[in-house]
Structure 1
């Protein structure tokens, strides 16, 4: 069964949320995982793409925005209702609702910032997962 992790950030800045998601993707990549970062829009996906290039000067995380079934990078960025083109094991969700395809992943990372709408949407997702019996862990970062 999919394991769900909520990462509750102390900041409400979108840039810090994006940076945290990129560091999480970097860590998972170095552990050998295949990661799908799910965003709300093409523009948001572009900003995550840019942020992944700038994590640290000495770091490289191979990634691309998914636009075909030919994507082979270990880190893919998708948006709206686009499903990953292949099986991957970690989903980093940067939207305000759970993607309908979340259960195909071994792990889901829900990144919640300190913005009230983000927290409210996070509470709803927490209840959604809890009511369905998923194992949930919470980290305050």
Structure 2
């Protein structure tokens, strides 16, 4: 069964956007080590570039092969980073959604990762994404942002 995992941010995270970018980077490394191909869907190109920069700043021992959509090898690297209006290349196992909207292409992924910020407006948008994934028949799971799985 397809899985959707939501990570809950709490009030201790002073920069929730940075926290989500870092968690997306950590999870993409974990999934790629397991041989999975990952697509990170950013809210916009600027956020996608932040994820790209975060991944480049990791130590060589923790390097994750990645690229922004339109760059890199044909078919994309192990981890591909995009934003609204661009399309990932090829089959991917995991979608890490940083966007405020549910990805309309999410059904093509075996696993979806999403985030719930503390801001009430963003929290409500996350609830709507949660409902969409649940109605699509995904097994739902919720974890604190600091939990690694």
TM-score, normalised with respect to structure 1: 0.90
- Any stretches of 5+ residues in structure 1 without a counterpart? none
- Any stretches of 5+ residues in structure 2 without a counterpart? none
Q: Aligned residue for 2:31?
A: 28
User: How many pairs does the alignment contain?
Assistant: 141
- Whether the 8 Å CA contact 1:6–1:111 is kept in 2: the answer is yes
Q: Aligned residue for 1:64?
A: 67
What whole-Å deviation, never above 9, does each CA across 1:26-69 have from its counterpart, x for those lacking one? 11111111000001211111111001112446310010001168
Matches within 5 A, 1:1-141: 1-10=1-10, 11=13, 13=15, 14-56=17-59, 58-67=61-70, 70-141=74-145
Partner SS state of residue 142, structure 2: strand
